[in-house]
Chain A
Amino acid sequence: MAAVSTTTRPAAATPPDAPPPRGRRRRRAGDRWLPYGLLAPALLVLGAVLGYPLVHLVLVSLQHYKLRELLRGGGTYVGLDNYRAVLGDPFFWTVVLRTVVFTAVAVAGTVVLSTAIALLMTRMHRVPRIVLQSVLVMVWAMPALVAIAVWQWLFDFDFGVVNWGLTRLGFSSFTRHNWFADPMQGFAVILGLVVWAAIPFVAITLYAGFTQVPRELQEAARVDGANGWRVFRHVTFPVVRPLYVIVTSLSIIWDFGVYQQVYVMLNGRPSKDYYLVGIYSFVESFGVNDYGKGSAIAVVMILLLLAACVVYIRQMIRLGDVR
Chain B
Amino acid sequence: MTRRSWVADLAGLAVAAVLVFPVYWMVLTAFKPGVDVLTYTPRFLPSAATLDNFRSALARPQFWSSVGNSVVITLSTVAISLLVAFAAALAVARLRFTGRAAFIVMIMFVQMIPLTAMVIPLYLLLNSVGQTDQLTGVVATYLAFVLPFTVWTLRGFVANVPVDLEEAAMVDGCTRLQAFRRVVFPLVAPGLVATSVYAFIQAWNEYVLAYVMLSSPEKQTVTVWLAAFTTQKGTEWGPLMAASCLTALPVVVFFLILQGRIATGLTAGAVKG
Contacts and interface: CB of A to CB of B under 8 A. Distances in A.
Interface of A: 1-4, 6-14, 16-21, 24-25, 32, 34-36, 38-39, 41-43, 45-46, 48-50, 52-54, 56-57, 60, 70, 73, 117, 120-125, 128-129, 131-154, 156, 158-159, 161, 164, 196, 199, 201, 204-205, 207-209, 212, 215, 218-219, 239-240, 242-243, 246, 249, 253-254, 256-257, 259-260, 264, 267-268, 278, 281-282, 285-286, 291, 294-295, 298-299, 301-302, 305-306, 309, 312-313, 316-317, 319-320, 322-323
Contact of A164 (B38, B40, B90): B40
Contacts of B127: 70
A306 B112 contact: yes
B121 interface: yes
B106 A8 contact: no
B103 interface: yes
Contacts of A32: 97
B271 A242 contact: yes
A49 B140 contact: yes
B122 A153 contact: no
Nearest to A121: B12
Nearest to A193: B22
Contact of A46 (B90, B106, B208): B106
Contact of B267 (A134, A153, A205, A312): A205
Contacts of B41: 164
B65 interface: no
A124 B9 contact: yes
B237 to A, nearest CB: 5
**Which one of A123, A132, A150, A243 has the greatest number of beta carbons of chain B within 10 Å?**
A150
**Which one of B39, B84, B100 has the greatest number of beta carbons of chain A within 10 Å?**
B84
B201 to A, nearest CB: 7
Given A39-B103, A42-B151, A153 B13 contact: no
A157 B207 CA distance: 26
A141 B264 CA distance: 17
Nearest to A13: B164
Nearest to B111: A253
Interface in B209-236: 212, 223, 226-227, 229-231, 235
B147 A45 contact: yes
A257 B24 CA distance: 28
Q: Which 10 A-B pairs have the closest CB atoms?
A: A10-B273, A257-B114, A53-B121, A49-B144, A278-B116, A123-B8, A38-B91, A42-B88, A298-B117, A16-B159
A52 B113 CA distance: 13
A323 B101 contact: yes
A207 B260 CA distance: 12
Contacts of B148: 46
B125 A52 contact: yes
Contacts, number: 375
B71 interface: no
A138 B105 contact: no
12 contacts: A7-B160, A35-B97, A56-B124, A117-B12, A120-B15, A124-B9, A131-B13, A148-B230, A149-B229, A164-B41, A282-B208, A298-B116
Given A49-B140, A120-B15, A153-B237, A146 B147 contact: no
B201 A141 contact: yes
Contact of B248 (A13, A146, A256): A146
Interface string B69-112: 00000000000000111011011111111001101111011111
B51 interface: no
Interface in B229-273: 229-231, 235, 237, 240-241, 243-244, 247-248, 251-252, 254-256, 259-264, 266-273
Interface of A is mostly: helix
B255 A152 contact: no
B54 to A, nearest CB: 15
Contact of A39 (B87, B115, B143): B87
Given A16-B159, A45-B143, A149-B243, 20 more contacts: A1-B264, A11-B160, A16-B272, A20-B166, A42-B84, A70-B124, A120-B11, A125-B9, A132-B12, A141-B254, A141-B255, A142-B248, A146-B244, A147-B22, A159-B38, A164-B41, A208-B267, A257-B115, A316-B104, A322-B101
Contact of B251 (A9, A141, A317): A141
B256 A138 contact: yes
B49 interface: no
B167 interface: yes
A223 to B, nearest CB: 12
A219 B273 contact: no
Interface in B171-200: 190
B205 interface: yes
Interface in B147-167: 147-148, 151-152, 155, 159-160, 162-164, 166-167
A4 B263 contact: yes
Contacts of B125: 49, 52-53, 56
Contacts of B190: 3
A196 B121 CA distance: 31
Contacts of A41: 83-84, 87-88
Contacts of B271: 7-8, 209, 212, 239-240, 242-243
A164 B39 CA distance: 10
A273 to B, nearest CB: 19
Given A34-B91, A134-B256, A159 B25 contact: no
B84 A260 contact: no
B204 A143 contact: yes
